[in-house]
Amino acid sequence: MAVYTRLGSEDMAGIIAAFDVGTLVSAKGIAEGVSNSNWLIETQDTNGEARRFILTMYETRTDISDLPFFLGLLDHLAAKQCPVPRTIHDRDGASYRLHEGKALALIEFLPGVSVSEPTAGQARAVGAALAQVHLAAADFPDARENSMGLKAWQELLGACGHDGLESIDPDLARLVEHELPLIASHWPSNLPRGVIHADLFPDNVLMLGDKVTGLIDFYFACTDVTAYDIAVTHAAWCFNADGTHFQPELSGALLEGYEAVRPLLPEERAALPILARAAAMRFLATRAYDLMNTPDDALVTPKDPMAFARRLQFYADAANEGIFVR
């Protein structure tokens, strides 16, 4: 359930009236997602045409000062025909507005559904779309530090503590205490950097068949090692949900799709094993922290950190097995 803030119909009509998108017809809260509040908005324009939008209210996880980067990136990528939602600027030309202290943005509704058991064809299409974003963002003028980088993982896992991790799983503290310093000492410093999505999970990709119709939720986007974004997407797409089974056919297809658009440098491909461990650690860290710090009566169900602990263990065990070798 991702509507944390209740907006009455009068409030909603007033918010929509600030945009030149017609008259509000309906506003339906969207259950998916966990970070922000989202509504499906339907309006009727002056020609009587029905139009659909997504209204997002940014909650605590998204810093308002980052919105110019996120929303500006969407418009930059959309202008380059990437399958991302355009932002709808209000009557004053602003890309977001404040409502009772919280930021709101209206974005283009895109068709498609998020797949839960991707095919190789879908993985290939996602790889190609990710590469398209990396190339299209090459001349995006703004930059943003990765707020979910190594330092954040160390802080989050430190806050969980040895006993806290062991309370999740008896072997979790051992895995983290072995892997985190290894990742820190092997993080590659010589690779191409650029704008990355950093959270391209299946629930952030809209698809119709094998076609990517929407890349959404750019709210972890930042400037970091480009190949790390491939590692994040690999960890998110190439295993079953709980991380118990690696799916080599999806791995091969994802990388083929990516390289058909943006060939990897040899040093990027060589770094994928350590970057994959890092990606698994990143999501293990936020999920473990959230699991330990989400009130029992919270609106959302925390995600399972062990799904990414299993991915991390797999990548560590397979470090010399060439799963990323062409």
Ligand X SMILES: N[C@@H](CCOP(=O)(O)O)C(=O)O
Ligand Y SMILES: Nc1ncnc2c1ncn2[C@@H]1O[C@H](COP(=O)(O)OP(=O)(O)O)[C@@H](O)[C@H]1O
Residues that bind ligand Y (CB under 6 A): 2, 30, 32-36, 38, 54, 85, 107-110, 114, 203-204, 206, 214, 216-217, 219
283 is in the binding site of which of ligand X, ligand Y, none (Cβ under 5 to 8 A by kind)? ligand X
* Cβ-based nearer residue to ligand X, 21 or 107: 107
How far CA 108 is from CA of 15, 41, 53, in Å, comes to 16, 10, 5
Residue number of the CB closest to ligand X reads: 35
How far CA 75 is from CA of 107, 144, 198, 211, 245, in Å, comes to 10, 16, 18, 21, 37
Query: Which of 217, 177, 196, 213 lies closest to 316, judged by CA?
Result: 177
CB of 308 to ligand X, least distance (A): 7
Chain residues in the site for ligand X (CB under 6 A): 33-35, 199, 201, 217, 283, 286-287, 303
303 is in the binding site of which of ligand Y, ligand X, none (Cβ under 5 to 8 A by kind)? ligand X
CB of 22 to ligand X, least distance (A): 29
**76-105 as b/e, with b when 16 or more CB fall inside 10 Å?**
bbbebebbbbebbbbeeeebbbebeebbbb
Tokens of 227: 């190949």
201 is in the binding site of which of ligand Y, ligand X, none (Cβ under 5 to 8 A by kind)? ligand X
* Cβ-based nearer residue to ligand X, 34 or 176: 34
CB of 322 to ligand X, least distance (A): 27
* Cβ-based nearer residue to ligand X, 58 or 258: 58
Q: Name the DSSP letter for residue 171.
A: T
Rounded to whole angstroms, the maximal C-alpha distance in the chain is 63
CB of 143 to ligand X, least distance (A): 22
CB of 203 to ligand Y, least distance (A): 5
38 is in the binding site of which of ligand Y, ligand X, none (Cβ under 5 to 8 A by kind)? ligand Y
CB of 217 to ligand X, least distance (A): 5
* Cβ-based nearer residue to ligand X, 21 or 207: 207
CA distance 130 to 137: 11
CB of 299 to ligand Y, least distance (A): 11
216 is in the binding site of which of ligand X, ligand Y, none (Cβ under 5 to 8 A by kind)? ligand Y
CA distance 53 to 70: 18
CB of 246 to ligand Y, least distance (A): 25
Q: What share of the chain is helix, strand, coil (3-state, %, to 5)?
A: 45, 15, 40
* Cβ-based nearer residue to ligand X, 21 or 221: 221
- Amino acid sitting at position 107: I
167 is in the binding site of which of ligand Y, ligand X, none (Cβ under 5 to 8 A by kind)? none
List residues bridging with 225 in a β-sheet.
Answer: 193
- Concatenate the DSSP letters of all residues of 104-150 into one string: EEEEE----B--SS--HHHHHHHHHHHHHHHHHGGG-------TTSH
* Cβ-based nearer residue to ligand X, 66 or 199: 199
199 is in the binding site of which of ligand X, ligand Y, none (Cβ under 5 to 8 A by kind)? ligand X
Query: Which of 299, 124, 88, 117 lies closest to 212, judged by CA?
Result: 124
242 is in the binding site of which of ligand Y, ligand X, none (Cβ under 5 to 8 A by kind)? none
CA distance 262 to 135: 8
